[in-house]
Amino acid sequence: MNFLTDILDFILPRFCASCNLKLYKNENVICSECTRQIKEVDDARIKNEYERKFAGSFIITDFFPLYVFEKDKPLQEIIHQFKYNKKFLIGKFLGKNLGFALIEKIKQWNIDMIIPVPLHHLKKAERGYNQSLYIAKGISAVVKIKVDDRIIKRKRFTKSQTTLNLEEREQNIKDAFSLRSRTKIAGKNILLVDDVITTGSTIRECGRLLIENGASQIYAASTAIAG
Q: Read off the pLDDT of residues 211-227 as tens digits, 9 standing for 90 and up.
A: 999 999 999 999 999 97
Look at residue 159 in the predicted model and tell me its pLDDT: 57
CATH code assigned to 39-225: 3.40.50.2020
Q: Please, what is the average pLDDT of the chain?
A: 90
Look at residue 122 in the predicted model and tell me its pLDDT: 79
Q: Read off the pLDDT of residues 149-180 as tens digits, 9 standing for 90 and up.
A: 999 999 877 656 566 666 776 777 888 899 99
Q: Read off the pLDDT of residues 140-155 as tens digits, 9 standing for 90 and up.
A: 999 999 999 999 999 8
Q: Read off the pLDDT of residues 194-215 as tens digits, 9 standing for 90 and up.
A: 999 999 999 999 999 999 999 9
Look at residue 163 in the predicted model and tell me its pLDDT: 61
| Angle between helical axes of 166-173 and 201-212 (0-180°, round to 10) | 40
**Residue range 49-65: mean pLDDT, rounded:** 96
Q: Read off the pLDDT of residues 84-94 as tens digits, 9 standing for 90 and up.
A: 888 888 999 99
Share of residues in the chain with pLDDT > 70 (%): 90
Look at residue 177 in the predicted model and tell me its pLDDT: 94
Single pTM value for the model: 0.90
In the chain, ranges of CATH 3.40.50.2020 domains: 39-225
Gap between the Cα atoms of 193 and 167, Å rounded: 22
Print the SS3 string covering the chain. Answer: CHHHHHHHHHHCCCECCCCCCECCCCCECECHHHHHCCCECCHHHHHHHHHHHCHHHCCEEEEEEEEECCCCCHHHHHHHHHHHCCCHHHHHHHHHHHHHHHHHHHHHHCCCEEEECCCCHHHHHHHCCCHHHHHHHHHHHHHCCCECCCCEEECCCCCCCCCCCHHHHHHHHCCCEEECCCCCCCCCEEEEEEEEECCCHHHHHHHHHHHHCCCCEEEEEEEEECC
Look at residue 27 in the predicted model and tell me its pLDDT: 92
